[in-house]
Structure 1
Amino acid sequence: MSTENALLTILIDKINNDTLVLPTLPAVALKVRKAADNPDINLNAMADVIGQDPSLSARMIKISNSAYLGRTVKVTSTTQAVTRIGLRQIKNIATALAMEQLFVSKNAIVKAYMEKVWEDTIEIVASSIAVLQVHTKATKNRALNLDSMMLAALVANIGALPVLTEAERHAEVFANPTFLDVAIKKLSGKIGEGIMQAWGFEPEFIQVAKSWRDLSVQTESISYLDLIRLGAVLSGKFDGGDAELLEQAVEKKIIPNVTMLLSDEFKEYRDSAKHVFG
C-alpha cells in the first residue's frame, strides 16, 4: 500500500467509525456565539464578553475602523466597535476572526502547510467578499450579507484540519505535501461537513464546507457557494473549471459581465477585506 493510500485508509476508517478527532471552536468564539444567541443580550454585555480576549477585542476595533465596513470615523473601544458592527453581525465576525487560532502545529512541515492553507483561505475570503460587494452594487440584491460571506469563506477549508492533524501524529510517514494535497482534495469536503454539523452551524455553512470544490453541486438561487467558487477562481485557488464558473456567474446574474471582476473597484474591495486579517 502506498503512503498516500495508507493515510487515506486511516482517515476513511476513522470517518466511517466516527472516531476522527474534529477541531473545536476556539473558546472565545463559543462564548460570543452563545452570548449572541441570548435574546436578552445587549451591546455592553457583548462588549464585555469580547473584551475578555484582548486579541479578539483589538481585531474587532480594527474591523470596525476598516473600509470593509465603509466607515471613516475611528472607534477606540470594544464597546464602540460592537455598537458599530451590531449584534446581528458580531456572531459571525467574531467566529471568523477567531478561526486562525485553529491553524497551528508543532511539526515544521505540517505547520508550514497549515500556514499555506490559512493564507490561501484568506485570499479566497477577500475575493469572495469583493465579489459580493460588486454583486450587491450592480444588482441591488441584498439577500447575502458580508459577515456570513466572510465566515462561509473561512470555513470552506476547515475539513483540511483533521487531515493535517492526523499527518502530524504520523509525521515521519505522512508529513509530505504531495500526500496531504491528495488527502485534502479527496476527504476535506466530507470532513468539513462533519465539523460544521458538530459545531451547530447553519445549512449554508455546511453546504460550503462540504461542496465548494464539487461543481456538480449547484444552487438554484445565488448562494455563498457560488461566490466562494468565484473567489477561489479570482485568487487562483480553484483547481479547474475557471472559465465555466465565470460564464455561469454572468448567466446566473451574479455579475453583469466578467470585466467587473477585473476593475479597480473590485481590487479595492478585495484589498480592504484582506486588510482585516493582515
Structure 2
Amino acid sequence: MGTENALYTILVEKIKQDALVLPTLPKIALKVRESADDPDVNLVQMSEIIAHDPALSLGMIKVANSPLLGRAVKVETVNQAVTRIGLRQIKSIATAMAIEQVFVSKNKIVAMYLKKSWEKTIDVASVAIALMTFYKQKNKHSPLSLDELTLAALVHSIGVLPILTEAENHPDVFANPTFLQQAIVKLSSNIGAEVTKAWGFSNQFIELVKSWSDLTMLPEEVHYIDFIRAGAIANDIFKNESTCKVLIKSYVDKGLIPDIEFMQSNEFLSTVADVKQMF
C-alpha cells in the first residue's frame, strides 16, 4: 500500500473511531462565546474580556473602522469598537478572528499548506461577505445575518487542519500535492463537521460545513451556502465550468445577484477589497 493510500485509510479509520485529533478553539474565543450567551453581560464587561487579548483587541478595532461598517469617525479603543459592532455580532466576529490562530504549525511544510489554506479561506469569505452586503441592501428584511455568514465562511474549510496535521506524520505525502488535494476534497467536509461539533457550534453550522461542497444539495431559498459557493466559484475552487454557470444562473434567479456578470464588476471587486481589509 502506498503512503498516500495509507494516509487516506488512516484518516477514514480515525474518523470512524472518533479518534482524529481535532484543533481546539482558542480560549479567548470560547470565553467571548460563553459571555455573549450570558443575558446579563454588557458592553463594558465584553470589552474587558476582549482587552485581555492584544491580537483580538486590535482586530476588533480594525473591524470597527473597516469600510464595511461605513463610519466616518474612527474608533481607537476596544470599548468603542465593541459598542460600534454590538454584542450580537461580537460572538461571531471574535470567533472568526480567533480561527486564524489554529492555522499554524511548527513544521515548515505543513505551515506553508496551512497558510495557503487560510489565504484561500479569506478569499472565499471576502467574496461571500461582499455579496451579502449588496444582497442585504436590497433585502433588508432577510433573516440572514452578515456576522453569521462571516463565521460560516471562515469555518467552511476547517476540516483541512486535521488532514494536514495527520499528513505531517507521513512526509512523503507532501511530495504529491495532487493526492493531498484529493484527500482534502474527499474528507475535509466530514472532518470539518466533526470540528465544528467539537467546538459547540449550532447544527446549522455543522450541516453547512458538511454540505457546502456537495452540489447535489441545492437550497430553494437564498442560503448561507449560496454565498460561500459563490465565493468558491469566484476563486476557481469548483473546476467544472458548466456547473459553475448553472449555479451562477440560479443565484440570479433567486435574486442573490442582479446578473451573471455582477461578480466581475468594478463596484463588486472594490467591495471585496474593502472586506479583505478586515482580516
Is the Cα–Cα contact under 8 Å of residues 156 and 209 in structure 2 kept in the other structure? yes
Separation in 2, partners of 1:213, 1:236 = 13
Q: Normalized against structure 2, the TM-score is what? A: 0.95
Q: Normalized against structure 1, the TM-score is what? A: 0.95
Matched residue type, 1:267 = L
Q: Deviations over 1:169-196 (max 9, x none)?
A: 232x333422320111000011011111
**1:4 Cα deviation from its structure 2 partner:** 1.9
Asked if 1:145 corresponds to 2:145, the answer is yes
Q: What secondary structure is seen at the aligned counterpart in 1 of 2:165? A: helix
Separation in 1, partners of 2:238, 2:97 = 23
Unaligned runs of 5+ in 2: none
Matched residue type, 1:274 = K
Instruction: Give matches, 1:17-32, under 5 Å.
Output: 17-32=17-32
Q: What secondary structure is seen at the aligned counterpart in 1 of 2:20? A: coil
The number of aligned residues is 276
Higher deviation after alignment, 241-250 or 140-149: 140-149
Matched residue type, 2:145 = N
The share of aligned pairs that are identical, in percent, is 51
Is the Cα–Cα contact under 8 Å of residues 3 and 170 in structure 2 kept in the other structure? no
Rate the CA distance shift 1:184–1:208 in 2: closer, same or farther, 3 A: same
1:164 maps to what in 2?
164
Separation in 2, partners of 1:157, 1:127 = 15
Separation in 2, partners of 1:268, 1:126 = 11
1:269 maps to what in 2?
271
Separation in 1, partners of 2:220, 2:250 = 12
Q: CA RMSD in A?
A: 1.3
**1:141 Cα deviation from its structure 2 partner:** 4.7
Separation in 2, partners of 1:122, 1:85 = 20
Higher deviation after alignment, 95-104 or 105-114: 105-114
Separation in 2, partners of 1:119, 1:5 = 28
Separation in 2, partners of 1:243, 1:164 = 31
Unaligned runs of 5+ in 1: none
Q: Deviations over 1:92-120 (max 9, x none)?
A: 00001111101111222211111110000
Is the Cα–Cα contact under 8 Å of residues 7 and 170 in structure 2 kept in the other structure? no
Separation in 2, partners of 1:9, 1:217 = 27
Higher deviation after alignment, 250-259 or 211-220: 250-259
Matched residue type, 1:261 = M
Asked if 1:92 corresponds to 2:92, the answer is yes
**1:3 Cα deviation from its structure 2 partner:** 2.2
1:136 maps to what in 2?
136
Q: Deviations over 1:140-170 (max 9, x none)?
A: 4532111111110100100111000101123
Q: Deviations over 1:185-220 (max 9, x none)?
A: 000011011111111112332122111111011223
Matched residue type, 1:179 = F
Is the Cα–Cα contact under 8 Å of residues 126 and 270 in structure 1 kept in the other structure? yes
Separation in 2, partners of 1:104, 1:139 = 38
1:245 maps to what in 2?
247
Is the Cα–Cα contact under 8 Å of residues 96 and 154 in structure 1 kept in the other structure? yes
Rate the CA distance shift 1:94–1:270 in 2: closer, same or farther, 3 A: same
Q: What secondary structure is seen at the aligned counterpart in 1 of 2:68? A: helix
**1:135 Cα deviation from its structure 2 partner:** 1.7
Higher deviation after alignment, 262-271 or 59-68: 262-271
Separation in 2, partners of 1:96, 1:174 = 30
